[in-house]
């Protein structure tokens, strides 16, 4: 995973307590611009719909200066959807960056490793076999993702979990789980099959505060935990032997970060369905924007959030009266990006 040769400005910052750390000016600038882009896209998305609103009306309503109708439309109907989009994109971007860094492979994405398919299998099991409620489907997707992540770790373990072994095992797990999903669809009646296909597309439609709160709580816990392990993760990219020599507890850090990544991706899939390719694309775009080596965790998180809300806006507005699920848009864009990435990696002799 090479970066461009653009010069980077790194400054040393010393706190009053005597602590010092390095500050990558370009990476910080990129994070700020991505956050601004995500927030701007969110405001535009909130104003999009059958009752259009200008950006000033949206901002005024958010600070309590809108009419009663505007308050209902923004706070109850559109704001939860946008927040779910931001949180799901953040979870997928961060989870994808973790898996790609742990596997040391740009193809080490939850989409390729089978985690998204595993969460889908859990949801389909609840829908097809038990005709479960929306809450039960969410819990089933979360359980499916966790079980798949555990299986992936156990099958890839051989004196540690190494990059290409993890990717190859993940491809095999993905194929098996995809076949299971196809079998479940064939066993469903018409109503359950239609419901399952809609869920499998990946969509932010109909999302409300019941999806926002658990996702927000998960991010509040896991994002700081993951960011505190950024140094250890960067050492892991150099190899286990070098990491050991530098004092990193390799297996403990790897297990902690893999567990966090599985939880992030499973929770995102449970909330919005299997939104394709955000976890694959966001870390690579963040790496190219920052021109910085290492995992780029925070830029990947911000890139994922900006990507998903922008894709949701495109899904609602770019096709006239027909509103597409956001998973269709990310699938098309991500598929094109995956083909480009495969060609690039082949030409570089890495696959």
| Confidence (pLDDT) at 280 | 87
| Confidence (pLDDT) at 4 | 44
Q: What are phi and psi of 7, to 5 degrees?
A: -60, 145
pLDDT in tens, the chain (351 residues): 444 444 555 555 555 554 445 667 888 888 999 999 999 999 999 988 788 888 888 888 888 887 888 888 888 888 999 999 999 999 999 999 998 888 877 777 888 888 888 988 898 888 888 877 878 888 888 898 889 888 888 887 776 666 677 778 888 888 899 898 888 888 888 888 887 887 888 888 878 888 898 899 999 999 999 988 887 777 776 666 666 666 667 678 788 888 899 899 989 988 888 888 888 889 988 888 888 777 888 999 999 999 999 998 888 877 654 567 888 888 888 778 778 877 876 777 766
| Confidence (pLDDT) at 89 | 94
Helices (DSSP H) in the chain: which residue ranges?
25-46, 55-62, 68-71, 79-103, 110-113, 115-130, 134-156, 163-187, 190-201, 209-228, 230-236, 240-245, 250-272, 278-290, 297-317, 326-347
Query: How far is residue 219 from each of residues 117, 135, 235, 248, 260, measured CA to CA in Å?
Result: 22, 19, 24, 25, 10
- Distance between CA atoms of residues 226 and 297, nearest Å: 8
State the residue for tokens 């949801």.
123
Query: How far is residue 224 from each of residues 140, 230, 335, measured CA to CA in Å?
Result: 26, 10, 31
Q: What is the dihedral of CA 222, 84, 207, 115, to 10 degrees?
A: -60
Report the run of H or E that residue 203 belongs to, with start and end: none
- Distance between CA atoms of residues 225 and 236, nearest Å: 17
| Confidence (pLDDT) at 36 | 94
Q: What is the pTM of this model?
A: 0.86
Q: At what angle do helices 79-103 and 278-290 cross, to 10 degrees?
A: 70
Query: How far is residue 172 from each of residues 53, 179, 307, measured CA to CA in Å?
Result: 47, 11, 28
User: For residue 48, is it left (φ>0), alpha (ψ between -120 and 50) or beta?
Assistant: beta
């Amino acid at each position: 995973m090479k970066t461009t040769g653009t010069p980077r400005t790194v400054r040393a910052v010393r706190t009053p307590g005597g602590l010092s750390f390095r500050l990558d000016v370009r990476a910080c600038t990129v994070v700020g611009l991505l956050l601004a882009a995500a927030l701007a896209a969110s405001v535009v998305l909130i104003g999009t719909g059958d009752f259009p609103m200008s950006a000033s009306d949206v901002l005024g309503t958010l600070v309590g200066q809108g009419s009663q109708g505007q308050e209902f439309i923004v706070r109850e109907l559109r704001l939860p959807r946008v927040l779910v989009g931001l949180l799901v994109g953040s979870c997928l971007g961060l989870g994808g960056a973790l898996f790609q860094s742990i596997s040391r492979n740009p193809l080490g994405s939850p989409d390729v490793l089978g985690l998204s398919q595993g969460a889908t299998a859990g949801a389909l099991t609840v829908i097809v076999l038990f005709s479960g409620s929306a809450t039960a489907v969410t819990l089933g997707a979360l359980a499916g993702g966790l079980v798949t992540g555990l299986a992936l770790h156990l099958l890839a373990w051989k004196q540690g979990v190494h990059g290409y072994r993890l990717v190859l095992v993940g491809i095999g797990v993905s194929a098996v789980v995809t076949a299971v999903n196809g079998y479940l669809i064939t066993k469903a009646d018409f109503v359950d099959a239609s419901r399952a296909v809609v869920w499998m597309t990946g969509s932010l439609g109909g999302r409300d505060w019941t999806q926002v709160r658990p996702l927000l709580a998960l991010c509040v816990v896991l994002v700081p935990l993951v960011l505190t392990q950024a140094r250890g993760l960067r050492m892991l990219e150099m190899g286990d032997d070098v990491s050991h020599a530098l004092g990193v507890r390799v297996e403990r850090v790897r297990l902690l970060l893999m567990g966090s990544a599985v939880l992030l991706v499973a929770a995102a899939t449970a909330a919005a369905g299997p939104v394709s390719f955000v976890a694959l694309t966001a870390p690579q775009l963040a790496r190219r924007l920052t021109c910085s080596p290492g995992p780029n965790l925070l830029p990947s998180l911000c890139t994922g959030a900006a990507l998903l809300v922008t894709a949701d806006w495109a899904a609602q507005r770019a096709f006239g009266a027909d509103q597409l699920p956001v998973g269709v848009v990310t699938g098309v864009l991500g598929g094109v990006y995956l083909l480009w990435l495969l060609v690039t990696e082949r030409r570089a002799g890495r696959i």
